[in-house]
């Protein structure tokens, strides 16, 4: 997405969103990919150079070469360790980017799910409430009569669905404002 870095009215959010003026995504991706491959190869070469045994030769020549090569090997090992730290740091930042993307999406989808199921519970509660309303005269019937059993059953189911509907909407509200 190409944009301009100029924003009117001091809109800092828009300014931050369009910092990359005219940046080509493909070129950026290739450059980052090349850099990552090059850093990986350099790290492998540095580790191989640091861990390879000294070439066979005379003891005096080997000792002199070892003292001169020790400095270069130390620098190479330090450089390899620095590259390793930067690669590990990049991995940590990449996980942070993933979390910053998935966490709001997870929260949003769970809130939507709670609201949808709350709506279904509300519909069923309304249907059972309608049945209770139609049979409200049966509350005065004897408790052992079939009409009274039916109205008490409808009332019990209505209260269950109403409870689930209300609790889903309350949970969705709490999760949304967390």
pLDDT tens digit sequence for 56-71:
554 544 555 555 555 5
Name the nearest CA neighbour of 91 among 79, 80, 83.
83
Give SS3 for 6. coil
**Segment 30-54, tens digit of pLDDT:** 666 767 776 777 767 776 777 777 6
Instruction: Break the chain into its structural domains and give their ranges.
Output: 1-37, 53-176
Identify each DSSP E strand in 104-148 by its residue range: none
* Residue 155 CB coordination number (10 Å): 17
Alpha helices (H) along 12-58: 12-17, 25-51
Q: Judge contact between 125 and 162, C-beta under 8 A.
A: yes
pTM above 0.85, yes or no: no
In the predicted structure, residue 83 carries a pLDDT above the cut 70? yes
Rg of the chain (C-alpha set) = 35
What pLDDT is stored for residue 24 in this prediction?
A: 62
State percent of the chain over pLDDT 70: 62
């Amino acid at each position: 997405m190409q944009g301009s870095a100029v924003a009117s009215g001091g809109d800092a959010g828009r300014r931050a969103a369009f910092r990359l003026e005219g940046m080509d995504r493909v070129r950026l991706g290739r450059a980052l990919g090349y850099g990552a491959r090059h850093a990986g190869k350099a790290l492998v070469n540095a580790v191989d150079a640091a861990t390879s045994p000294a070439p066979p030769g005379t003891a005096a020549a080997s000792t002199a070469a070892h003292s001169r090569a020790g400095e270069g090997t130390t620098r190479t090992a330090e450089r390899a360790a620095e590259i390793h730290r930067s690669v590990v740091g990049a991995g940590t930042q990449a996980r942070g980017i993933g979390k910053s993307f998935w966490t709001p999406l997870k929260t949003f989808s769970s809130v939507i799910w709670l609201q949808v199921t709350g709506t279904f519970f509300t519909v069923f509660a309304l249907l059972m409430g309608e049945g209770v309303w139609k049979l409200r005269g049966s509350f005065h019937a004897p408790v052992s009569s079939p009409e009274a059993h039916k109205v008490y059953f409808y009332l019990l189911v209505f209260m269950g669905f109403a409870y689930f509907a209300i609790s889903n909407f309350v949970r969705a509200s709490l999760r949304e404002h967390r």
